[in-house]
Chain A
């Protein structure tokens, strides 16, 4: 904690090189969020750059009683929200509880991809990209960043009940989808 404080003070004084440490430590966090929230591959890197520039410029506002990872994730999440809003891409966060989501034509697995994607990870990624953005984000924060419900609440500003509900529905949907698409024996290997 003290190390972080010293580091941040250095950065606030304008030491851009010290900022490299922050980027190394939180690069995957930011890329995870942006990769799952932004579909256009060519936009992702610029968005990640913008997020870190925002982090650098707002570092003096960081409260040390908060977790730096949560704070950075919040900036990345909000930045992606702004991007989506500008591009008029819906989050589907008002989906009703029993609502099912359809795969977009673009998300369908093409025959070539179908044969290429022999491993579970690739199939899972396909299925995840067919989910509403809000679901993907929460799944990512929980499973790839191993965040708690409370941390996800802080990042997304969604009520805890909603976060849990989205997680449950997303996992159930993924499970059903993967079971129905592929033969049961070989799905998880």
Chain B
């Protein structure tokens, strides 16, 4: 008989109204003749009532006000932080600009600037030379390459305009907006 008693889980679910119709009937039939399970059920019913009784939470009556105060302080602090950021950004930008203006007026800068241009263009010149030699070797006129580039670029452009472009083209255009 011991094996046929209602399980504690089922008794609890019965108390909490969590059992289906079929199980409910089985439990109720068993309870009619089993005093032991009735006793257990009574305990669980009392426990459930006791558990459902609300507890004293001792909430500070100023609780909501304290939270609101903290929230407002947080917001103010963040706003101040943002302004501080803007002001600091503007100030450092201004300082940089002034420094740059002063710097461009020095003789040192004038010389440096000229040197930079010359050095920067030297490898470019070399590359172009190398490129035309290469083209001459495989017997293609530079004009053909130029034409092909123009066609390719206009294709990319049309593709972008008509919104049929693939993701990598989109990415390319995003990163190199100069293309369109």
Q: Give the B-binding residues of A (Cβ under 8 A).
A: 14, 16-17, 19-20, 23-24, 27-28, 31-32, 35, 45, 48-49, 52-53, 56, 120-121, 124-125, 139, 143-144, 146, 149, 164, 167-168, 171-172, 174-175, 178-179, 187-188
Q: Which of B115-151 contact A (CB under 8 A)?
A: none
| Interface pair A178/B47, CB less than 8 Å apart | yes
Given the complex of chains A and B, what is the CA–CA distance between A179 and B39 in angstroms? 12
| Interface pair A175/B71, CB less than 8 Å apart | no
Q: How far is the CB of B40 from chain A (nearest CB, A)?
A: 8
Q: Provide a sorted-by-A list of 27 A–B residue pairs whose CB atoms are within 8 angstroms.
A: A16-B72, A16-B75, A17-B68, A19-B68, A23-B63, A23-B64, A28-B59, A32-B55, A35-B57, A49-B63, A49-B70, A52-B67, A56-B71, A121-B53, A139-B51, A143-B52, A144-B52, A144-B54, A144-B55, A149-B18, A168-B12, A171-B8, A171-B12, A171-B48, A171-B51, A172-B8, A188-B43
A/B pair count, beta carbons within 8 Å: 83
A27-B59, A144-B52, A174-B51 are known contacts; what are 5 more A-B pairs with Cβ within 8 Å? Answer: A16-B68, A24-B64, A28-B54, A28-B59, A49-B70
Contact A175 to B70, CB < 8 A, known contacts A23-B64, A45-B63, A121-B55: no
Q: Give the A-binding residues of B (Cβ under 8 A).
A: 8-9, 12, 18, 43-44, 46-55, 57, 59-60, 63-64, 66-68, 70-72, 74-75
**Complex partner residue of B71 from A53, A121, A187, CB under 8 angstroms:** A53
Q: What chain A residues lie within 8 Å of B47 (beta carbons)?
A: 171, 174-175, 178, 188
Q: What chain A residues lie within 8 Å of B71 (beta carbons)?
A: 16, 19, 53, 56
Given the complex of chains A and B, what is the CA–CA distance between A49 and B74 in angstroms? 13
Q: How far is the CB of A139 from chain B (nearest CB, A)?
A: 7
Contact A188 to B66, CB < 8 A, known contacts A164-B9, A175-B43: no
**Complex partner residue of A53 from B8, B64, B70, CB under 8 angstroms:** B70
Nearest first, the 3 closest Cβ-Cβ pairs linking A and B are: A188-B46, A143-B51, A31-B57
Given the complex of chains A and B, what is the CA–CA distance between A53 and B78 in angstroms? 14
